[in-house]
Amino acid sequence: MLESAAHVGLQAPDGPLSLDKFGAESARIGREVADGYHRYHIDTEEVDDVNPLPHRFLVTVGKVGLAKLITKEAMTYFRPWDPHFDVILSRPCTYGVFSGPLGGFIPRPKLCVGCLRCEVQHPEFVKVLPNPELLKMGDSYTTHGHIAAIDEEAKKGMVPVRGQGYRGRFGGPGFDGMLTDMSEIVRPSRDGIHGRELIGTAVDIGSKPMHLSFDSDGKLSGSTPEMFTIQVPFVFDLPPGDLDSPRLAKVVESTSRRIDTLACLDAHTVAKNRLDAPNVVPVLDNAEAFRASEFPRARLIELRSTPDRPWGWDAGGFDLAREVSDAIIGIRIHFEEGWQDRMTKAVESGAKVIHLLADLHGRGSDGTFVTELFKEAHMILLEQGRRDTVTLLGGGGIVGADHVPKAIISGLDAVALDLPVLFALQGRSNGSLRQRAKVTGTLPRELDREWAEQRLTNLCGSWRDQLLEILGAMGIREVRRLRGEFGRSMVVRHLEDEAFEGIAGYVGGGS
């Protein structure tokens, strides 16, 4: 007992421990352990809107029709001895759309949830319409639905919960074509209400040796783990397009520190704003690899291709960066032609972190979706017997909480977030959101740092909690075990082939 007390760093009592002191001493140790206990958790807190989304619905009320109704009801129901105010003043909305000072004459559409009771009850003069301003947000991949979900998650930090069943299309392209599995009996642990309480979301960044070697004296020889741990399987990636700015970099940096993850930031921004920190990943052009020494606190530095060698592998830059820095040097690889070869060469050269990048619709240059690309990358390393020696980060097309576990199932260790940051901070985009370099958007003019940090923290808290839901349903206790677990996913196309095979007209392959 005392050994274990010492083991956890507690003060052992003077002298031998007698039986009568045992209980009190045990309690003291228990208390100290409890006081020193820390369970990872993201503290979320609802924050106000600075640049609210257009509300979901528009509500129009015909003033003449309403006046006629009130008059008619007053004449029908009012009696001096029993005025029936409850009837005359009753409103067909429980959400307060018609509860402003002037009732239905000046409705409050921002409170409308689209139940349509008012429109059904008074079809002559009430109309509820989907708000076109909201519908036109985003683009064909990152839809207004994604943006609204991110906005809600960043505002409240909670898992979006609603009544009624699923409202969308059956399966679909990209991530929508993948379902996650569940177990009827197994759960992560038998502790707690749902067993989700003890699920771990920490992931390791870097390299684990495939085996340990010992010398004749029993001492460890050979390679040792070269890695560190972050608490969530997602990191912030470089802001796409024209969104990069010092004020955004500062918010992303402080948020990543707060939730114990990483923020990939342009190395020049890091240097200029003195943001070098263990949670910051400076991203350098390969040609500037020598500058890696300028970031002594960084645990991970990423190199990206120089523009003149987009598909090649420049071992020189990598070697130089490794020489001048103690940080793990990661390589950013776009899913362009020949990426497999480039990744293999990078790993053979000693790269411990590969950061894979698709376009923001989740497609490689040949149109393949990231679930397939991540899987291919994972399988290449697996077949080479190197998978645990490399961390795979990946990004592109990750705009919903469900995309995180699906990307990890596809083979990633952790996911990189790009566009969600923009929408979590109530920024607005213009035009297509496909090409990273061409994204244009605006952030709120007054980007209050505290507000912005809480919004991003809320988003991360919500996405982590939703990841816990997925893991809990599967009975998986830590996210590390989800990596590459294709068997815990179901592909709608394959299920359809199995279910509809032989039915006239079904030709398979998502026809």
Partner 1 sequence: MALLQELMDAYEGKIVKPSDALLHKTTTLLQDGMNARAFGEFEKPEALGDARWTDELILSTWYMAETGKVPDELNFKTGESDGGFDRLDFQFLQEDDWLEHSDAIDTKLPLNRRGDGKNEIEIDIPWYGGGMSYGSVSVNVMMSRAKNAKHWNTLMSTGEGGYPPELYEVKENVITQVATGYFGVEEETIQAAPIIEFKYAQGAKPGLGGHLLAAKAGEEVAKLRGSVPFVSLFSPFPFHSTYSVEDHSKHLDWIETVNPKALLSVKVSTPHDVDMVAVGSYYAGAHIIHLDGGYGGTGAAPEIAKKNIAMPIELAIPKVHKFLQKEGVRDKVTLIASGGVRTADDIAKAIALGADGCVLGTTDLVGMGCTRCSNCEGGPSGRGCPWGLTTTDIELQEWVQQDWGSRRLDNLYTALQWRLRDILRKLGLSNVRELRGRTDLLSYISKEAGE
User: How far apart are the C-alpha atoms of 369 and 222, rounded to whole Å?
Assistant: 39
Please identify which residue in the block is written with the tokens 């083991």. 7
Please identify which residue in the block is written with the tokens 């940096």. 253
- Beta carbon of residue 333, minimum distance to partner 1 (angstroms, whole number): 28
User: Around Cβ 45, how many Cβ atoms within 10 Å?
Assistant: 10
Residue placing its CB nearer to partner 1 in the complex, 90 or 221: 90
Residue placing its CB nearer to partner 1 in the complex, 64 or 504: 504
- Beta carbon of residue 489, minimum distance to partner 1 (angstroms, whole number): 9
- Beta carbon of residue 495, minimum distance to partner 1 (angstroms, whole number): 4
Residue placing its CB nearer to partner 1 in the complex, 158 or 202: 158
Residue placing its CB nearer to partner 1 in the complex, 207 or 466: 466
- Beta carbon of residue 406, minimum distance to partner 1 (angstroms, whole number): 8
- Beta carbon of residue 237, minimum distance to partner 1 (angstroms, whole number): 22
DSSP codes of every residue in 338-382: THHHHHHHHHHTT--EEEEE--TTSB-TTS-BHHHHHHHHHHHHH
User: β-pairing, 428-430 with 440-442?
Assistant: antiparallel
Residue placing its CB nearer to partner 1 in the complex, 364 or 405: 405
Fill in the DSSP letter of residue 111: G
Contact 142, 458 (CB under 8 A): no
User: β-pairing, 280-285 with 263-266?
Assistant: parallel
- Beta carbon of residue 40, minimum distance to partner 1 (angstroms, whole number): 21
Q: Rounded to 5 degrees, what are φ and ψ at 11?
A: -80, 120
Residue placing its CB nearer to partner 1 in the complex, 380 or 399: 399
Residue placing its CB nearer to partner 1 in the complex, 23 or 165: 165
- Beta carbon of residue 78, minimum distance to partner 1 (angstroms, whole number): 11
Residue placing its CB nearer to partner 1 in the complex, 448 or 485: 485
Instruction: Count CA within 13 A, CB hemisphere, residue 271.
Output: 11
- Beta carbon of residue 475, minimum distance to partner 1 (angstroms, whole number): 8
> CA torsion 364→367→369→375, rounded to 10°?
-60
User: β-pairing, 226-230 with 280-285?
Assistant: unpaired
Q: Which residues of 53-75 are buried (b: 16+ CB within 10 A; e: fewer)?
A: bbbbbbbebeeeebeebeeeeee
User: How far apart are the C-alpha atoms of 298 and 257, rounded to whole Å?
Assistant: 12
Task: Give the residue from 482, 427, 460, 483 showing the smallest Cα distance to 279.
Answer: 460
- Beta carbon of residue 176, minimum distance to partner 1 (angstroms, whole number): 8
Residue placing its CB nearer to partner 1 in the complex, 238 or 473: 473
Fill in the DSSP letter of residue 46: -
Question: Helix, strand or coil for residue 329?
Answer: strand
Please identify which residue in the block is written with the tokens 């397939």. 372
